[in-house]
Structure 1
């Protein structure tokens, strides 16, 4: 397969789905084709470092079918082959982890506001793309291994966790599934059912407040948007087919993924994507880390108790 992403015909998609279903056991979730055992045991490189989940290489269908409710026109389906194992944050980076970076002299000494929503185990927000990279540079220097933002393809691969539906649990969305909401909700009471079920929070929620996906990752959908490494492109024409980040000269906007507490359901889908200026800081925008996995280390982690 070439490094350029390949657009799929309906027959291609059907054949690939059948192949994956035959090769990997179902999980009991709609559309699931990978076993949760395909991900490794969580680990962390230091006490203040984010907890990580190792993920294997694999092939998946990125994007959404025309029949998916809420889809946008920039989500055309195509095959991506994730070429190498990588470890991804089990949770979004929290304020506690960000503040540890600042105390240690990293993160450009920037103390982002939590907008009164909560700190400690709440996701770090009001960080722009370069702020996130400063945190990753601190982790890299501290641990001696490379940390970075996930590529857009890696993010969707991790969010889907082997599933092919709009969301890893299926096509629907309830207040027990994720932290999401209407576009505007200014009142703490009488908010049209904004705070219901497991979603007790008007704004962001502590990480891990909702169920994990089959890879053991929390809050991939909802709570806060997440930065990716990719520069924004209007569609997937010419995108890398190996899962690497898609850059561009003089990039001023980057891709964010996952949706947030402020968004309606159409944004809280595995295929949903949006563009924001690199310098934007918002109370609904955070990030999670990726840590590269040398080939020998993958085997060592698999053997660890």
Structure 2
């Protein structure tokens, strides 16, 4: 099978590049590229280099800064195969159906993506305590150009729960703030980077398998504490293969990209899709504690207004690794 030979060649390239600073672009023949693209639309296949996935180094750039985990470079198949269970649930659950048809392929077409360099991802979603610390800093407004803002999450909301009711601009402001404070480059992950980190070498609906199970993530009916705190404290569920917690469930996480109801079929890089810096709709990922399990699938993506401070919207940042981790 030509698609299988393509995956084997990618495995070999990944193995040969271990320890290098930059992962070379994939070198597949035109026939291999076409076969892998076609087969991946229908079959789950497997992720290239899945056996090489490992938890990364954990570090923090400052007191109160998010803990970061280094995620290794790699190749991966972005999106879901056409017949993945619940892939089209949103089409039929939000009438009228004819208005939802344009979103039917929001998880496709599936494509190969090249993550060229290591990146550090927030180990957890940004917590309420971390957000409050940034808002209490007298330098916040001077750095970000935005007045301090504290979401109204209730008196019983704990500092170790994710900061919610945050929009895309809030996420950008926090990235700018941390960059200024640490001298490092913090930013939102791109759509492709986020899914690479969430999947951690898997092709199943969730990183742990095709069924949501119980106590793997925070979503409606997914964990024993639902109906009590509803939003879980960060890090309460097992980490994925990279050592990241709560990528699936708990809070929807903003990414850099403008939202389009499909993936670019020919794009190989993990660069963000931003045809217009002022696009009205930005992408969120990962599902949330206040949503159903299918929304926590690794491939699921949706595009609210960039200024939407919904109850379930959270932040996870990446830090570029141009300089060594502290």
TM-score with structure 2 length normalisation? 0.77
1:92 maps to what in 2? 125
SS in 2 for 1:291: strand
Deviations 1:135-163 (A, max 9, x none): 11110000001100010101000000111
From 156, 160, 171, give the equivalent of 1:121: 160
Measured after TM superposition, the shift of residue 119 of structure 1 is: 3.0
Measured after TM superposition, the shift of residue 235 of structure 1 is: 0.5
From 135, 140, 150, give the equivalent of 2:179: 140
Measure, in 1, the Cα distance between the counterparts of 2:222 and 2:40. 42
SS in 2 for 1:158: helix
Measured after TM superposition, the shift of residue 64 of structure 1 is: 0.4
Measure, in 2, the Cα distance between the counterparts of 1:114 and 1:239. 42
Q: Is the 8 A contact 1:175 1:199 kept in 2?
A: no
Measure, in 1, the Cα distance between the counterparts of 2:42 and 2:75. 12
User: Of the two, which has the highest radius of gyration?
Assistant: 2
From 266, 269, 274, give the equivalent of 1:247: 274
Tell me: CA distance 1:283–1:197, structure 2 relative to 1, closer, same or farther (3 Å): same
Deviations 1:243-268 (A, max 9, x none): 11111213001000000112112211
From 92, 103, 106, give the equivalent of 2:136: 103
Matching of residue 63 in structure 1 with residue 102 in structure 2: no
1:229 maps to what in 2? 256
Measure, in 2, the Cα distance between the counterparts of 1:81 and 1:291. 18
RMSD: 2.5
Tell me: CA distance 1:165–1:293, structure 2 relative to 1, closer, same or farther (3 Å): same
Matching of residue 35 in structure 1 with residue 64 in structure 2: no
Measured after TM superposition, the shift of residue 199 of structure 1 is: 4.8
SS in 1 for 2:179: helix
Tell me: CA distance 1:219–1:159, structure 2 relative to 1, closer, same or farther (3 Å): same
From 107, 119, 129, give the equivalent of 1:75: 107
TM-score with structure 1 length normalisation? 0.82
2:309 maps to what in 1? 281
Q: Is the 8 A contact 1:115 1:283 kept in 2?
A: no
- The farther-off stretch of 96-105 and 109-118 is 109-118
Number of equivalences: 271
Q: Is the 8 A contact 2:256 2:283 kept in 1?
A: yes
Matching of residue 290 in structure 1 with residue 308 in structure 2: no
Q: Is the 8 A contact 2:41 2:82 kept in 1?
A: no
Deviations 1:151-176 (A, max 9, x none): 01010000001111111000001231
Name the one with the larger helix percent: 2
SS in 1 for 2:304: strand
1:207 maps to what in 2? 234
Measure, in 2, the Cα distance between the counterparts of 1:68 and 1:198. 28
2:5 maps to what in 1? none
Measured after TM superposition, the shift of residue 117 of structure 1 is: 6.1
Q: Is the 8 A contact 1:195 1:202 kept in 2?
A: no
Measure, in 2, the Cα distance between the counterparts of 1:63 and 1:285. 22
Structure 2 unaligned runs (5+)?
1-24, 27-32, 89-104, 141-145
